[in-house]
Structure 1
């Protein structure tokens, strides 16, 4: 058990879940201590009792359209991220790769990072109104100004040995970008995007207070604060934390799926042999795969219903996501194309591996 107090020591896989559970248990125990009794150490208006917070979920589901507000915030998060990434990738690569573009625009972009984002809400209201379009563009801008310099930095972190290798074999500039810069930058950029997820939820909670009738978890917390219902506020915060954790795990899984080479050393022991895959990891891989295919099947049925109405007259996706429904469609279609491409590659590899029988005429 010396690894428990070893500086920068690694946690064994079998201990990660128990230690996480212990940490959550300690936090809940402290919460109970500070809020228990008739005269708690912390007033209930500041820190409500845990049982009241957990009980608030059912009240919010019945009285405050919890599911709809949840999906409105998730849709806003997806839409903002998609727009930000679509802006960041081309602009970041242009600045990082071409000196003339970098000389003209890198310093202005670096300066924009010092603009207080919350103070710029008025500008976005003047440009886009107070609807979902304003919120999506505000969120995308908030992510863009932090993510673009990171893309430029990742481009300069590409190792010279890879560049010299492709130049030696006569690669063109486009081939160098496609085979060296893209894989190297994207394999690191996915971690940066994952870290920025937490910041994006801060912006969402702020921006959803504008025109709060459109809904969202931020609008819900704003309403609960005005009504002095701290138990429901804490419940909404816990829901945001849960969504953030799920998003983080999805990014980790996506990272393993797209860039397996990053985990090659982690999957080996000190002797260089592959570690045995645990039963838990096997179950989680199967569960994630089953969930993905189930989600795709449900999406296809619901998307067809949006057009034909064969399941219900209610357009479910439009009801849940509102004006950010396009972001969910974009995400699901991207997953379908990725899965289809993977299936095509496997099918083609099987055909090429099948020996051909040549008949003698």
Structure 2
């Protein structure tokens, strides 16, 4: 049984003074942080065809991933709603990156943090959560929701529940959300209004933010479309097609952080223009290929994003279309050295990367994408 020392103000019905200081701590941390970079990939075949491809590098956040923005919003949302108070344990169900970022902010405001994660979560992620002062409980994938809710209730804590609150905790209208940042960084490029933004979905919060922002600024981005890419063993693409909220999958996605076994409340299909299924082998092959291009390792969801972006670029070339495509580096590949970058692990999952690697290495043979 987990035990936490009760703070004298833990049950304070107001706690305004603590909340004010906690918010100041988070805002000060934000003020110390620069925006993430937008990297233009040098792929001669695309450039010659009038297609520019960009990666927004979210791995440079202090907690190392795209989820830093979400975690900040979720923790602020909890504080401002009066749900998170001084000394209160913060509990989350997460496959890793969100938990790492929430552990970062929990430490910043002085609250204990507990992550309920699937047993297959990469050990690198577990180490990062623990290094930030958090605890990790590993359970079966289908148990993460109920166990997080149970533990938060038992400890008198707050269950953040990213899968419900991601789309509403983030201010999609502005406030330096990822969409506003991305579009502002594109202003001086050859094609400033992207033809496509490509995003994978975990909670669905980021795709909801981008899709809503595009619609809010339709006059500027009327031709910009949002494509959401989905890994194997995820329900989102099927739900996008048939809108059946009861769909479930019993097998977890190998691409941690994206794809879900059930339809999450934060997933907003009506702001999405298109969805594409991406094979797991293609995602993993793409991050290995990308390492040779940018000399850095990236996480699996980045491979899913980029493979989808390349598929759209191929379509644009076939249709003699010019324009820009923007997608994301979601986190660093250093978290996946024992899985996605481990050849023995890849073999154990019966994945064949070679067909995709050949197409990616020789872009002239990319017709199979």
Question: What TM-score does the superposition give when structure 2 sets the normalisation length?
Answer: 0.27
Higher helix proportion (structure 1 or 2) = 1
Looking at secondary structure, tell me which structure has more strand per residue.
Answer: 2
TM-score norm. by structure 1 comes to 0.27
Rg: which structure is higher?
1
